[in-house]
């Protein structure tokens, strides 16, 4: 007849081996399945840039401040009174991509907030240049007015307006609200 310690020895060995195998399977599953979870998830460096507050400060007339948001340059452009008057007088049938200035910038209208990427081939336009005194893309000659609307050249669309909100007189919040 077997003694009690000899009967328990194989059972303890079974439990130990099974526990070790279960731990090993969980360890392997963690390093094979978890990376599949992260496919399609934004990088943590991009999550930090999703929504930002940018302090613009006081801008002189026709001054442009560049802010980087989600890896894209954003122009905050302080338009002059003359430019504001010209933007309101533009007829919609003269525009390639008709949008009113009020629709593009409903609040704090003296500041134009646009993504500074040309809608033609993705170049960076230059502020205070071009035939309409707004933005000019030197790569292929697209001219935008001070509201970022395409006036002449190969670009098919206006400069994009990012989702934004003015928090204070000199601080803008960029991103989903």
User: Active-site residues: which are they?
Assistant: 140
**Could you tell me the two tokens for 21?**
């195998």
Question: Is the alpha carbon torsion for 133, 136, 141, 144 positive or negative?
Answer: negative
Buried b (16+ CB within 10 A) or exposed e, 21-60: eeeeeeeeeeeeeeeeeeeeeeeeeeeebeeeebebeebe
Whether residue 158 contacts residue 142, with contact meaning beta carbons closer than 8 Å, is answered with: no
Whether residue 115 contacts residue 74, with contact meaning beta carbons closer than 8 Å, is answered with: yes
CA 92, distance to chain mean position in Å, is: 29
**Could you tell me the two tokens for 73?**
């340059």
**Could you tell me the two tokens for 18?**
């099974």
């Amino acid at each position: 007849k077997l003694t009690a310690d000899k009967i328990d020895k194989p059972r303890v060995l079974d439990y130990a081996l099974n526990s070790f195998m279960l731990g090993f399977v969980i360890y392997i599953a963690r390093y094979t399945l978890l990376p599949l979870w992260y496919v399609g998830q934004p990088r943590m460096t991009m999550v930090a840039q999703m929504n930002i507050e940018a302090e613009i400060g006081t801008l002189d007339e026709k001054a442009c401040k560049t802010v980087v948001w989600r890896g894209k340059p954003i122009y905050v452009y302080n338009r002059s009174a003359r430019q504001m008057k010209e933007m309101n007088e533009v007829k919609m049938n003269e525009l390639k991509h008709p949008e009113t200035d009020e629709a593009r910038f409903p609040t704090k209208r003296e500041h134009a907030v646009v993504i500074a990427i040309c809608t033609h081939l993705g170049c960076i336009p230059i502020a205070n240049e071009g035939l309409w005194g707004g933005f000019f893309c030197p790569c292929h000659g697209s001219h935008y007015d001070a509201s970022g609307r395409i006036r002449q050249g190969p670009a098919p669309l206006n400069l994009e307006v990012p989702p934004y909100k003015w928090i204070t007189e000199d601080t803008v919040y960029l991103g989903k609200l």
